[in-house]
Structure 1
Amino acid sequence: MGRDLDKIDRSILRALSENGRLSIVELAQRVNLTNTPCSERVRRLEKSGHIRGYAALLDLEQLGHGHLTVVQVSLSATGDGSLNAFNRAVKNIPEIESCVMIAGSFDYLLTVRTRDMGHFRSVLGDKINLLPGVLQTNSFAVMEVVKEALDQSAFVG
Structure 2
Amino acid sequence: MDLDRIDREILLAVQADGRITNASLADSVGLSETPCARRLRRLEADGFIEGYRATLSRRALDLGLMAFTQIRFGMHDRELTDRFEREVQGIPRIVACHNVAGTADYMLTVVARDLDDYGAFVRDVIRTLPGVTSVESILSLREVKRHGGLPLL
Report the TM-score, using the length of structure 2 for normalisation.
0.93
Q: Of residues 91, 94, 102 in structure 2, which corresponds to 1:93?
A: 91
Which of the pair has the greater relative contact order for Cα pairs under 8 Å at 6+ separation?
A: 1
State the alpha-carbon separation in 1 of the partners of residues 2 and 24 from structure 2. 24
Q: Look up the match of 2:112.
A: 114
Q: Look up the match of 1:156.
A: 152
Unpaired runs of at least 5, structure 1:
none
Deviation at 1:72, TM superposition (A): 0.6
Q: Look up the match of 1:25.
A: 23
State the alpha-carbon separation in 2 of the partners of residues 8 and 42 from structure 1. 10
Q: Look up the match of 1:53.
A: 51
State the alpha-carbon separation in 2 of the partners of residues 45 and 83 from structure 1. 34
Please, what is the CA RMSD of the aligned residues?
1.3
State the alpha-carbon separation in 1 of the partners of residues 76 and 142 from structure 2. 32
State the alpha-carbon separation in 1 of the partners of residues 2 and 85 from structure 2. 31
Does the residue aligned with 1:111 lie in a helix, a strand or coil? strand
Q: Look up the match of 2:7.
A: 9
Q: Identity over the aligned pairs, expressed in percent?
A: 37
Does the residue aligned with 1:136 lie in a helix, a strand or coil? strand
Deviation at 1:137, TM superposition (A): 0.4
Counting only pairs closer than 5 Å after superposition, residues 134-153 of structure 1 correspond to structure 2 as 134-148=132-146, 150-152=147-149
Equivalenced residues, count: 153
